[in-house]
């Protein structure tokens, strides 16, 4: 079950947003970008004996899975950031 930002105190939302932003950054650096690089490299190989269709499919699938995970993290982070903005605007009467 996904955590709803409004169920947390404001300070906890800041901590959760910070955690999600770090998690997203690490995922992009350690998973998505390397998989994208591997796919780009494999797509430039002309010899099908070196890179099979199945290998290309596996790389594409891994990249798409990684991208879906990144999108999910981003959407969760966005919800927390919007919640933080809404509550701080209310506190500051903006």
Residue 2 has pLDDT above 70, yes or no: no
Cα 13 to Cα 2, 64, 81: the distances in Å are 14, 29, 8
- Note the helical H segments in 44-93: 53-92
For the stretch 12-26, pLDDT in tens is 999 999 999 999 999
Res 18: pLDDT = 98
For the stretch 45-75, pLDDT in tens is 888 788 888 999 999 999 999 999 999 999 9
85's tokens? 């903005």
Predicted TM-score (pTM) of the model is: 0.85
Distance of alpha carbon 79 from alpha carbon 85, whole angstroms: 10
CA-based nearest residue to 32, from 82, 66, 4: 66
Question: For 68, what's the count of Cα atoms within 13 Å in the CB-facing half-sphere?
Answer: 6
């Amino acid at each position: 079950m996904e955590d709803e930002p409004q169920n947390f105190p404001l300070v906890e939302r800041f901590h959760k947003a910070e955690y999600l932003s770090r998690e997203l950054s690490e995922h992009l650096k350690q998973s998505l970008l390397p998989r994208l690089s591997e796919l780009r490299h494999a797509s430039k190989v002309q010899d099908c004996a070196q890179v099979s269709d199945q290998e290309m499919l596996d790389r594409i699938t891994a990249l798409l899975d990684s991208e879906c995970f990144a999108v999910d993290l981003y959407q969760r982070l966005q919800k927390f950031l919007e919640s933080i903005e809404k509550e701080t605007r209310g506190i500051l009467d903006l």
